[in-house]
Amino acid sequence: MQDQRPRCDPNEPMKKQALIPIALLALVALGVVIARMQPSADQNAVDYRQALMFVINDQMQPLSLMHGGQLPYDPALVRKHATDLATLASMIPEAFARDTRAARKLNTAALAYVWTDHSDFVKSAARLQQDAEALNGAAQDDNQAQIQSALGTLSAECARCHRQFRAN
Ligand code: HEC
């Protein structure tokens, strides 16, 4: 009569047991490696510049909504965000000063042109600052037509720099 027990290697359970401590050891070793892993100066530079862009984006959002008519027009709010954007724009050159092209495994969308055409990049940041200052001036005069046009110029500069210096 045929054996009804599932066919398996009688040594298998022992092999599995031997694997458990090895796996645990590997896990502990991995933990130690991760704990020792300090973010590199390149990674810090990427984190910093992306954080700056994140804040710039946050300041831009209500302005874009006003530009599109989804948020009521409010000159005081425009002035606040325009002032903050001018300051933040002035920080872009410093945030991108570190050339991270040679670094591996960085999660960055910055293209090599940021450093090969650095003066163009800096000029774009300066234009963004000027655009934000012009917007502030228009809001100070409470000139809605001028505000609309200044908002268009400002957001066009974001797109312009991204087209030239950012992947996707
Ligand atoms: C002078 C060039 C320049 C200008 C001007 C600029 N950006 Fe950027 N931006 C970049 C580059 C380069 C990156 C990619 C950074 C990276 O991934 O290391 C980026 C990334 C971003 C990101 C993604 C951040 C992240 O978390 O990865 C956002 C959002 C953003 N920009 C929004 C804006 C907005 C909004 C404006 C306009 C108000 C603007 N940017 C103006 C160059 C610019």
pLDDT tens for each residue of 43-89: 999 999 999 999 999 999 999 999 999 999 999 999 999 999 999 99
Atom of ligand 1 nearest to the CA of 106: 18
pLDDT, residue 49, reads: 98
Output the domain CATH number for residue 120: 1.20.120.10
Distance in angstroms (rounded) separating the CA atoms of residues 112 and 81: 30
Q: Which of 43, 48, 53, 54 to mutate to test the pocket of ligand 1 (most atoms within 8 A of CB)?
A: 53
Confidence band (pLDDT; 50, 70, 90) for 11?
low
Residue 122 CA to residue 72 CA, distance in Å, equals 33
Q: With respect to residue 1, please indicate whether it lies within any of the assigned structural domains.
A: no
Token reading at 21: 């401590």
Establish if 30 belongs to a structural domain.
no
Q: Three-state SS for 8?
A: coil
Residue 144's contacts (CB-CB under 8 Å, 6 or more residues apart) are 73
The model's pTM is: 0.82
pLDDT for 18 equals 79
Of all protein residues, whose CA lies closest to atom 6 belonging to ligand 1? 158
- Write phi, then psi, for 152 (nearest 5 degrees): -60, -45
Contact indicator for 54, 45 with CB cutoff of 8 Å: no
Contacts (Cβ under 8 Å, ≥6 apart) of 167: 109, 110, 111
Has residue 31 been placed in a domain?
no
Question: What is the count of structural domains for the chain?
Answer: 1
Give the 3-state secondary structure of residue 72: coil
Q: Ligand 1 centroid vs 53 CA: distance in angstroms?
A: 5
Cβ within 8 Å of residue 166, ≥6 positions away? 109, 110, 111
Whats the size of the chain, residue-wise?
Answer: 168
* 7 belongs to a structural domain: no
Q: Quick check: is 127 in a domain?
A: yes
Please indicate, yes or no, if residue 99 is contained in any of the structural domains: yes
CA–CA distance, 126 with 119 (Å, rounded to integer): 10
Which protein residue's CA is at the shortest distance from atom 40 of ligand 1? 158
Q: Any idea which residue has 């946050």 for tokens?
A: 58
Q: Domain span at residue 127? A: 41-165
> Is residue 168's pLDDT more than 70?
yes
Question: Within a domain: residue 24?
Answer: no
Q: Considering the domain boundaries, does residue 17 fall inside one?
A: no
